[in-house]
Amino acid sequence: MGAETVPGAREDRRSALGRAVSGRAALTALVCALPAAASDINFPVIDLALVFVSLAAVSGTWFNVVWNAARGRAEFPAPVEAGGLLPVVQVKTGLLCLLAFFTPLGLWFGAGASRGAESMAELVAQNPVQAVTLVAIATVYTPAAVVAALVYGGGLAAMWPPGWVHVARRMGRRFAGLVGVAAATSCVFWAVRLGLGWVLGDVAFVGPLLVWCAGNLVLFAQASLFGSFIRRHGQETGFVW
């Protein structure tokens, strides 16, 4: 059994990345990016609503990919499948995982706004070390939140810190590996978003569309790697399918 572990891990990683660069994944990334790209119309409220629709679609798809990969399904999942998660469950759980990650940053921005900061970008520019520290902390505990949502079968588990602690303790040293996946793929995500944003920032609609689409593909690859990691270490994560 031990001799098969490394080849299995390598094959899982190749399969996970292949799942995320399939035609269905690219089409899903593009569709999810359309509302966000259209938000450049600069109509108050409507532009925020379009961004929220895009975030909801990406978050739901992200969690659906994690769930399907953790169950050992080889293909990129469709939004609705027989025996799969209901779309409302996908979106609810995905958004709660997203909320778990951004809660420290949201609280930080609220405190900064009370002291005169008008935007998150301004606050980050004024306090870059604090921003990086909060992102690092969120990157450490968010994988535990995702595993908790999978294992305990409910999105609210993603917002329950005692569940995160239980997951981290149960996984032991494997948890560091999952955090490493989160950190590495997050770095790739921001490199892609910032790099393409710099190159295509002046191209109306098409530029934001391609930036969001590329970022979505990286996130789907992250979700696929997450799910494959959780399946490989099912005894430690508690997700045995």
Residue 70 near residue 84 (C-beta atoms within 8 A): no
Residue 94 near residue 79 (C-beta atoms within 8 A): no
pLDDT at 228: 93
Which residue, among 40, 36, 37, 85, has the nearest Cα to 62 in the 3D structure?
Answer: 85
Q: What is the DSSP letter of 86?
A: -
pLDDT at 5: 43
Q: What percent of the chain has pLDDT over 90?
A: 65
Give 96-154 pLDDT, tens digit per residue.
Answer: 999 999 999 999 988 876 577 777 888 888 889 999 999 999 999 999 999 999 998 77
Q: What is the mean pLDDT of the chain?
A: 89
Q: What is the DSSP letter of 76?
A: P
Q: What is the mean pLDDT of the segment spanning 203-221?
A: 94
Give 3-56 pLDDT, tens digit per residue.
Answer: 334 336 778 888 888 898 899 999 999 999 999 998 877 777 888 899 999 999
pLDDT at 40: 74
Distance CA 52, CA 58 (A): 10
pLDDT at 114: 59
Question: Does 167 have pLDDT greater than 60?
Answer: yes
Domain residue extents for the chain? 2-237
Residue 221 near residue 16 (C-beta atoms within 8 A): yes
Look up residue 240 and give its two tokens. 């045995």
Burial class (CB in 10 A: 0-12, 13-18, 19+), 30: middle
Three-state SS at 124: helix
What is the four-CA torsion angle of 73, 75, 76, 79, rounded to 10 degrees? -70
Contacts of 42 (CB under 8 A, 6+ apart): none
pLDDT at 4: 38
Contacts of 37 (CB under 8 A, 6+ apart): 205, 206, 208, 209, 212
Residue 167, amino acid:
V
Three-state SS at 205: coil
Distance CA 49, CA 47 (A): 5
Residue 159 near residue 99 (C-beta atoms within 8 A): yes
- DSSP assignment of 144-182 equals HHHHHHHHTTSGGGGG-HHHHHHHHHHHTHHHHHHHHHH
Q: What is the mean pLDDT of the segment spanning 229-234?
A: 92
CB atoms closer than 10 angstroms to residue 159: 17
Confidence of residue 59 (pLDDT cuts 50, 70, 90): very high
**Most confidently modeled range among 40-49, 160-169, 199-208:** 160-169
pLDDT at 45: 80
